Chain A
Amino acid sequence: MSELDAFRTEVREWLEANCPPEMREPIRDEDDVCWGGRKWVFKNDAQKAWLEACVAKGYTVPDWPKAYGGAGLTPEQTKILKQEMKRIKARSPLDSFGIWMLGPALLQFGTEEQKVHYLNQIARGEIRWCQGYSEPGSGSDLVSLQTFGEDKGDHWVVNGSKIWTSYADKADWIFCLVRTDKANKYQGITFMLFDMESPGVTTKPILLISGNSPFCETFFDDVKVPKTQFIGEINRGWDVAKYLLGHEREMISGGGAGGDMVSIGGAFAKSFGKNAAGELDDPILRAEMAAFDVDVFAYRAMGERFMDMWKTGRAHPASSNMMKYVGTELNKRRHELVMSGGGSDALEWDSEESKGGARARSWLRTKANSIEGGTSEVMLNVIAKRILDLPGA
């Protein structure tokens, strides 16, 4: 037996012993997803036990070093762990912007002290983070951000506001882009970290077209931030931000951009009915779904090729922008077809049968896919400039 096979056996046995049956059920409600943090109330004992077991093993962040709360797994081992979790339909023990976004930035730019302190907190799910990037006047043109930190010697006094801060009302800490030099556009931003309970921080949820409020507007009114709480260098936060955005697009590209990557027509065949020839009983919708399926399977191959090339340094550094563009546009198309396939049932907004309007709300939610993390239009600009080398882009 190879070392990897032995590892797989070990993982399998560990999961069998430690993943509670309740944690192998499909996600039904929002609080089935464990986000951790100071304010987190576990839905049940199983959710708590599953998180604790993973924390003890380093499996909330399997590929991080052990000193920072991870399990120090190699990419191959991490892949095996993910495969085995998927096989038993295990839920993620911990979802977190700390894991997905701040962690990678800390690993790249943090001091040793910061890594030990913050990464362990993230790995254990003790602190829930939110991200302070966009501002009401700075969306696609993020670098024009105006939230200002005035230098007061040993601390900054921060004033301004952020928008689209996901779950800011539930988060404990924020990683935040703050202008610290008004004369320098790119080299005048600092990547700060501070407690959301600091005096002067307020949040206001934003009601979206989906009827949900996952995003907030966040206001800073004379918020004191100690001058030890930043990553990288003062005034060089844009480097961290760019790295993080790149990482975010890479992560989206490797996984979620295309949404649920299975045949859509196959899923509707049962509910929709078929004609005598065994075809979906609506020829035009069938054709559109089949054309969509071609694009889904094609994008799946693209995702595999992208990851194979990315991991071995063969991919164009800007190719994650292409992945995000193609994948998010695909997912929006999927949800248009889901709505068409569902007919008037899919329009229901709050009935029990519709699971609280799940399809309609998801459909509306996906419209943000091609806006958040860089709009499709910005992705196309980047492809034109950095990959096709077109002039003046």
Chain B
Amino acid sequence: MEYFALTNAWLIPLMPAIAFVLIGLFFKRWSALSACIAVFASAVSFILAIFAAIAVIGSGISVDAPFVGHVIWAEAAGLHFEMGMLIDPLSVMMLFVVSLVSLLVQIYSIGYMRGDKSFGRFFAYISLFSASMLGLNISANFLQMYIFWELVGLCSYLLIGFYYQRIAAREAAKKAFITTRIGDFGLLIGILLLQTVFGTVDFLELRQLLPSYIASYGTGTLTIIGILLFIGPIGKSGQFPLHVWLPDAMEGPAPVSALIHAATMVVAGVYLVARAYFLFASVPALLEFIAWLGAFTAFFGASIAISQREIKRILAYSTISQLGYMMLALGVGSLTASLFHLFTHAFFKALLFLCAGAVMHAMNDEADIFKMGGLRKKIPIVFITMTIGVLAISGVPPFAGFFSKDEILSAALSVNTPIYIIAVITAFMTAFYMARLLFVVFFGEKTNMRLHHISCFMQIPLVLLAVLSLVSGLGGYIYDFGYWIRFGAPQPEHMDISIAVLSAVLPLLAFILAWNIYVRKKWSADCIAARMGVLYTISFHKYYIDEFYAVLCRFFIDGIGRVMYFIDIYIIGGIINVISGLVLFSSTLLGKIQTGQTQRYAAAFLCGVIILLLCGILYFNKISGITAGGGVL
């Protein structure tokens, strides 16, 4: 069975794809049936993924010696398009995370989406997403990855715009697609350059070709390729400056935010960098760029999250910040730390989003946290699980986030101190705004609203994810995550005591601060905001980046478009019209000759005959003059 799962890993993405086709084509109308199909397919995928993971652990497959399979998908004049699967601990870890979170989110959605008239459509899209994401995980070459990368983008588009009757949703969907498309543009060029320079886009072949290429040509071209490739992750993983779509993406249903815009799809960028790490690691300047961008994004996201009011927006900016963390870890050279954080983050962020969804569901889709309050007693299960999630993301030991964050911090400290300091400040801010969220929603004055019931379909995934948020960090630490998922030689897990203490104390400080501000009201939040003045305004308005882009877009897209259209109509079209006008004009001139009076025609005819006769006679004269020396006339 394990062996079967390993060699037929392509079945893992295929299962949800089948579910998509079945639901989309036939069973969209029957809600219960479509949910059953989707969940069943996900469950099969998950089981296969577990078996594949067991097989990988059992059979000694490592990142250096992965299991691969190829088929030729298409070929055009010597250009091969391959579909393959690359199974190593990295991809198996992703398969496990994605299929698990996807399964749990689908179960949750049964409760969350109940009664929606597009229930079947939702499950079709979610299944398509799972299929694409799982396909992305087993990709063996850049092109295949790009294909699934685009498909997850499509699913994201469809699911953000799921409530297509809402203007905000459709605008957010469009924004997400176009913004990530800009990233894909870079990625596609990078892939095309790889194809041109190396003649292949296969990960393993590239890994073998790269050292000799660097030896003979240096890293100039590779830097360009690396930067271009990295533009893709910037778009997809919400790094500055292409992060703008991610907060808006919260227009989709909460399970979608949990699955796609927190746990799985947005980490595709991190996964891509990890997959192509051999390329990025060979250019130190590139890594440094990634590290700084990640650090900046981490800080930047946190600084916005701190002032937002909508529950899902806070979480969205927190996602941006955490993704920045992962990029930072990749940049400082620790693939292990980054993916460990990806692993734990998937669970606790999905948990947080699902909790947020549950809260909103209970509160009749109210999103502003300051209109909530005192929910602790009314929905205790959500309160408990959310608390676990908050503790996990803040990095309180022994929750999952503590271990992964600690590893990132120690990796950062060993390479680059300024980045380390930024990371520590971000960690503090993260703990603060998450505590703010928790305290404002669950403590404080009670709302008198009648709350919706939260069904068991929604509760079970919450509990399971809470458990995972609790144990995944410790489990990863004990079972030596770094032995399996690494770049280069395995690094033994170690814990730097000073960093550990610092990262344990900081969140506690942040919690106390938040407690004093938001629960005991020792210091007024408004007062602080007022004193911060400009800083608060900028943060609240997200650094005015959206406005900036809107102006840019109006000027460079619509403005230039109008100018071009003007040129098309009045210059290119104008030249054509002038030419056709000339023809018309000359024809009217010539038309004047046609008086319609036959006698004039006859006169003209006569003149013509006379002239021709004269010409003929003169000509004849000339010829006979030459030949005979005499004239007729």
Are both chains from one complex?
no
List A residues at the B interface (Cβ < 8 Å). none
What is the interface of chain B, defined by CB distance below 8 A to chain A? none
